[in-house]
Structure 1
Amino acid sequence: MNSLLIRRHQSRNTLLLLALIAAVAVGLVFWNLDFIKSLYLRKQLTAAGMIIDGGITLIFLIGLFRTIVSLFFYLKEETALNRFVLNLDDEKAEDLLTGIYRRSLISLRYLTMVKLHESKTPINQGALASTLVAAESIRASLVRYINNILILTGVLGTIVSLSIALLGASDMMENTVNVSGMAMVIHGMSTAMSTTFTAILCYLFLGYFYMKLNDVQTNLISGIEQVTATHLIPRFQVHTESVLHEFSGLLRSLQGLVRQMEIAQEGIANLDKRLLQAQDDQTSQVLRLDESIGSIKQILRDGFRLSGNP
């Protein structure tokens, strides 16, 4: 587990940070509720400001909801990855996917490598990594799009508000005593400020957590690729370098075995020589023994004055 150069609970920490900042934001809203009401709700001559601000807020909430869903997804993926690494470290684990749901990214990577290994297909980690990055980039595409257009919605609100202000200025020019024209100008400028303010705040909030979402995604993919490179590739793929290294070790073992056989053969050859020498010595001793027995027989005959052939 310590060999992984990743943050094991980054998605959980990001969710806690999001909840904390959201709570602070809600507290600030209630603290300045009168100011917010006067800025967005009171003395509105047209509904343009509320419509634009409501649209910006709705787009922001959609992006934020999608960000939270993605963070919870990566929280489950990080849990699965941590469990998989624990199973790798556990020598008693019979199945590496014990306690891991089968649709997790690390589970799919493991099953893919098992299938490639069984079909005798070379494993290309670069291709697997590119496929994973492409698939996960789609998950954050909606958040990325909303993050890109949020600031533009503020610009749109500013343009619409300035158009309202210009209409009021036009009425003032046509009738110098037209009070409604001045009110429309003030309303347009106020709406421009409120829409720009709303868009900037939403953009800053969502943009920060979109960046954190990318960090969580990168952290998870990095962990999966580290596990693949350090644990799964050696398990399923035989590299040329490892084959040559093992073959060199086998040659060294064979050389040692041949040397031992040569020594044994030399020992057997020496033993043959000793056996031949012992056989010659035995033959000589038998001949000498026959001669000695013949001499004894002759002495006995001579001593007892016996006759006959020996």
Structure 2
Amino acid sequence: MDIQRLLTRLSLNIIIQFGVVVVIIGIAIAWNYDFIFQFYFENQQTRTGIIINSAIASLMLIGMLNILYHLIRYGREEQAIAGFVHNIESFKVDLMEGLPPHSIIVKRLLTMKSIEAAAGEINHSALSAMLTADESTKFGLIKFINNILILTGVLGTIVSLSIALLGASDLIDSAAGSLGGMGLVIHGMSTALSTTITAIVSYVIFGYFYTRINDVQTHLISGIEHLTSVYLMPQFVKRSDFIVNKMGDLIKSIIHATDNLKNTQKIYHASALTLKETISSNQEQINHMSVGMSEVKSLLADNIKNTQEIYHASTQTLQDTISSNQEQISRLASDLSEIKSLLREGFRLSPAHADDE
């Protein structure tokens, strides 16, 4: 999209030129005020020149104000186009966000939406012709002033020459040869000159700005039609070639998705094989661990059994030792008893006496 051309503020440039011209005219009038006052207002035998020049200046002023009004209006339309382009570049859902509801671009978008809602066919040429005709009707007064402005100068010249002819007739008919008729002739010629100059200057200035506002109108309509053809029409118009292109893009997308799916399946297959190998390897490791655990279990069982046997043998040996010790103690006790008996008999002691000693 040619954004730079759409963002060009041509109306603003013309408004600046308008202000410069007004300032220059004001300075020129102020600088030559004495000459202009003498040329247009002093020594006027009739008010014809003042009336015609005032009419020419009034027509020019009305036309220039009308041109200024349309320049300001087109400036707002150019701002709306710039805002619309900004919404497009920002990918906003609502393209009319922040735009004046009565702007041309908003009306064009709403018109196309209404036609689409009514299931009608959008004719870009018809929309363009309607917009051009609608804008042309708004320049009726400007066109009228542009066409008659130079004719007012011609009218002033004709009227002034008529006054001059009347003065010449009075001069001829005057038997006394008074100079009143001569003054009227000079007044008529002067009025013709002033009205002609006023009309020419007014027509040149007005014609320039009339041409420039036509350029602004053409630039604005061109921007509207550019946005319509480049952005709006593809959204609303579904032609056969457009559908074919969309189907082609859809088929390409499906092919691309299929290729991606195949690649994904290959990746899944490779992952499944890797997972299967990992599970097999883990199963072998688990089997080895099971065998090892069985061996450890049997070793522990044997060790426990041997420990129990050793414990049982140790217990039996201890019991035998205790029994043997008890027998020895019993024998020692009996031997001690015999020794006591022998000692008792040897010393011939009584049992009580022996016990006391």
Change (3 A) 1:7 1:195: farther
Higher RCO, Cα 8 Å, sep 6+ = 1
Identity of aligned residues (%): 42
TM-score, scaled to structure 2:
0.69
In terms of mean alpha carbon deviation, does 33-42 or 111-120 score higher? 111-120
1:178 alignment partner, SS class? coil
Is 1:232 paired with 2:232? yes
Give the match for residue 212 of structure 1.
212
Pairing 1:155–2:154 present: yes
Match in the other structure for 1:174: 173
- With over 3 angstroms needed to count, the CA separation of the structure-2 counterparts of 1:197 and 1:4, relative to structure 1, is same
Distance 1:79 1:7, change over 3 A: closer
Residue pair 1:161, 1:189 contacting (<8 A) in 2 also: yes
- The question of 1:11 aligning with 2:20 is answered no
SS, match of residue 5 in structure 1: helix
Q: CA deviation at 1:178?
A: 1.3
> How far 1:5 moved relative to its partner?
3.4
Q: Distance in 1 between matches of 2:221 and 2:124?
A: 12
Which residue of structure 2 lines up, in the alignment, with residue 86 of structure 1?
Answer: 86
Q: Map 1:152-301 onto structure 2 (within 5 A).
A: 152-175=151-174, 177-250=177-250
1:85-123 deviation digits (Å, cap 9, x = unpaired): 1011112x2311111111100000011111112222111
Post-superposition offset of 1:253: 6.8
1-side partners of 2:96 and 2:78: how far apart? 14
Specify every segment of 5 or more residues in structure 1 that has no aligned partner in the other structure, as ranges.
Answer: 265-310
Cα 1:187–1:7 change in 2 (3 A) is farther
Q: Provide the C-alpha distance between the structure 2 equivalents of 1:106 and 1:229, rounded to a whole number of angstroms.
A: 12
Please say if 1:137 is aligned against 2:127.
no
User: Which of the pair has more CA radius of gyration?
Assistant: 2
Q: Deviations over 1:201-258 (max 9, x none)?
A: 110011000000000000000000011111111112112111122334555677896x
Contact 1:4 1:226 in 2 (8 A): no
**Cα distance between partner residues in 2 of 1:157 and 1:114:** 54
Structure 2 distance, partners of 1:6, 1:145, is 30
**Are 2:6 and 2:81, in contact at CA under 8 Å, matched by a contact in 1?**
no
User: What is the TM-score normalised by the length of structure 1?
Assistant: 0.79
Q: Structure 1 225/72 Cα, relative in aligned 2: closer, same or farther at 3 Å?
A: same
Three-state SS of the structure 1 residue aligned to 2:3 is coil
Amino acid at match of 1:181: G
Shift of 1:3: 3.2
Contact 2:3 2:85 in 1 (8 A): no
Instruction: Answer whether contact 1:150 1:199 (CA < 8 A) is retained.
Output: yes
Determine whether 1:124 maps to 2:116: no
Aligned length in residues? 260
Partner of residue 61, structure 2: 61
CA distances 1:260-295 after superposition (whole Å, capped 9, x unpaired): 99xx9xxxxxxxxxxxxxxxxxxxxxxxxxxxxxxx
> 1:141-196, CA deviations, whole angstroms, 9 ceiling, x for partnerless residues?
21111011000000000000001000110111112521100000000000000000
The residue type equivalent to 2:225 in the other structure is: E
Match of residue 36 from structure 1: 36
* Structure 2 residue 27 is matched with structure 1 residue 27: yes
User: 1:216 & 1:249 partners in 2: Cα distance?
Assistant: 40
CA contact (8 A) 1:171 1:178 kept: no
Partner of 2:216, secondary structure, is helix
What corresponds to 1:107 in structure 2? 106
The CA RMSD measured in Å over matched residues stands at 2.1
Q: Do the aligned residues in 2 keep the contact of 1:4 with 1:223 (CA within 8 Å)?
A: no
Residues 252 and 99 of structure 1: is their aligned pair in 2 closer, same or farther, counting only changes over 3 Å?
closer
